[in-house]
Structure 1
Amino acid sequence: MMQRLRILTSHAAVNLMAAACFSALAALAVWGPGWVWAFVPLGVGAQMLNEYNLHRFVFHLLPPRAQWAFDLLYRAHYGHHDFPTNEKLFFVPVWVAVPMLLFNFGALWAILAALGVADAVWIAVAIVPVGGVLAFLGYEWFHMTSHLPVRKTRVERYVTTLHNQHHFRDFTKWFHVSPGGAVIDRAMGTAIDRETLKTRQRSEFIRTLGLRPDDPRLVSARRRFATRYGLTEGEIARAAAH
């Protein structure tokens, strides 16, 4: 537990999002109307959909030809598939998490206010920085845990099994990580059944999102971010030869 807390709290985005969530919880408890707490579960569900859509449609965009665009996605997610046990690549970057929080909150507040909904700001607080961020923090915990060789609860083992299939069997399937998110994958046709799983062990489904491990864009990104992510020469060489 302490190891996981140390890793979790070492990441800036997690700390910033947690601070936003606890501040929103305190504000809601002190100044918000009591009935608005009923909207918190809606925020949890909305964030689980956001988790799926961001992972599938943004983080898994087809690799750009331009190196600068490829590097952005490498920092956001490609790097995690390249080095799935690197702790510094477990988490959503600050420059993705914080703008997402601000945009979702601002957009929801503006829409509710434009519709003349009473207490629009408190509803937006309950849905986004409370319910949504609580779900986001849960996602980060389960995602981190799925990549660590630690003792796990039954739920954590289940999440780990499905997430490993995303990494090492078919990266075009199982985009959820949070418990319960498998419902979304099944509804969207991105689940893997047992029979299909037996055929998804080819090398192109491992680590590099379908790219050759020595693809020049990957090689360049590994070199560029080696210091940031603590990549050794040996790790870079093994990744290129995988």
Structure 2
Amino acid sequence: MTRLKLMFSHTGVLAMAFAAIVGVGLLIAQAPSWVWLFIPLGLVAQMLNEYNLHRFVFHLPPPNRQWAFNLLYRAHYGHHDFPTNHGLFFVPIWVAWPVLAFNFCLVWAVAALLGLPAAFDIAVAIVLVGGVLMFMVYEWFHMTSHLNIPKTKVERYVTTLHNQHHFRDFSKWFHVSPGGEVIDRAMGTAIDRDALKKQQRIEFIRTLGLRPDDPRLVRARIKFAAKYGLSQDEIARAATT
């Protein structure tokens, strides 16, 4: 129950859960029964979405403009900087909902262009139900991987791989959801067992290659300190490690 309380204390998670509930309600109320068969497609599509967003957006090169750097810091850089801070575990709502809306409109448009019947309902099944359910799975396993608690076998496996991303090489293992390692292997961002024995820890691993005292990082830490409960000691240590 502790993990559920933590997870659903975040507005982004609550908002996405609401989207899934609305999606299920729409399918029950109006969709043909065969549309439910599209939900598994949404699960797979979200795993690809998770990988691409993490690799190509959250790990963008650090912007020079502070306002843009702050956005990226809140979206993801800050989570690497303070990987045990609960407030930084989850995808912000201002990232999750625009991505959800874009994906929904895209799937709806493609289904309509293909002339598929019930194009709107198909988009609901794929994005609002399947996609959001997989998003919730991602949030659960990502949160769990950063908590020092008893874990199931699958949770321990995900934690092991995700720890390599955080503490060995941030350019590898972008998946978090179970089974997502298939995508990393296909995309060449996995670390195999032999390479792992030789892989050295990337310099400045927790700051994604930036010097810990980079002025952009320092300003971002100070900006978000109150919101995420960062103490002056934590901020000072982060600038030197």
Tell me what 2:67 maps to.
Answer: 68
State how many pairs are aligned. 241
Say if 1:168 and 1:201, in contact at 8 Å, map to a contact too: no
Matched, 1:122 2:100: no
- Greater Cα shift, 194-203 or 168-177: 194-203
Counterpart Cα distance in 2 of 1:11 and 1:62: 27
Q: How far is the alpha carbon of 1:6 from its aligned partner?
A: 1.1
Tell me what 2:213 maps to.
Answer: 214
Whichever residue aligns with residue 83 of structure 1, its letter is F
Tell me what 1:152 maps to.
Answer: 151
Counterpart Cα distance in 1 of 2:64 and 2:16: 32
Q: 1:228 to 1:41 in 2, by over 3 A?
A: same
Q: How far is the alpha carbon of 1:166 from its aligned partner?
A: 0.2
- Greater Cα shift, 109-118 or 153-162: 109-118
Structure 1, unaligned runs of 5 or more: none
Tell me what 2:78 maps to.
Answer: 79
User: In structure 2, the residue corresponding to 1:241 is in which secondary structure?
Assistant: coil
Q: How far is the alpha carbon of 1:27 from its aligned partner?
A: 1.8
Counterpart Cα distance in 1 of 2:61 and 2:199: 20
Mapping 1:97-116, distance limit 5 Å:
97-116=96-115
Whichever residue aligns with residue 16 of structure 1, its letter is A
Q: 1:192 to 1:205 in 2, by over 3 A?
A: farther
CA RMSD of aligned residues (A): 1.1
Tell me what 1:180 maps to.
Answer: 179
Counterpart Cα distance in 1 of 2:111 and 2:61: 35
Identity among equivalent pairs (%): 70
Report Cα offsets for 1:8-36 as digits up to 9, x if no partner: 01100100000110111122123211111
Tell me what 1:92 maps to.
Answer: 91
Report Cα offsets for 1:73-128 as digits up to 9, x if no partner: 00000000000000000000000000111111112112222332211011111000
Report Cα offsets for 1:45-68 as digits up to 9, x if no partner: 000000000000000011111111
Which TM-score applies when normalising by structure 1?
A: 0.97
Counterpart Cα distance in 2 of 1:203 and 1:61: 17
Tell me what 2:28 maps to.
Answer: 29
Whichever residue aligns with residue 196 of structure 1, its letter is A
Tell me what 1:204 maps to.
Answer: 203
Say if 1:28 and 1:125, in contact at 8 Å, map to a contact too: yes
Q: How far is the alpha carbon of 1:196 from its aligned partner?
A: 2.3
Counterpart Cα distance in 1 of 2:222 and 2:111: 46
Which TM-score applies when normalising by structure 2?
A: 0.97
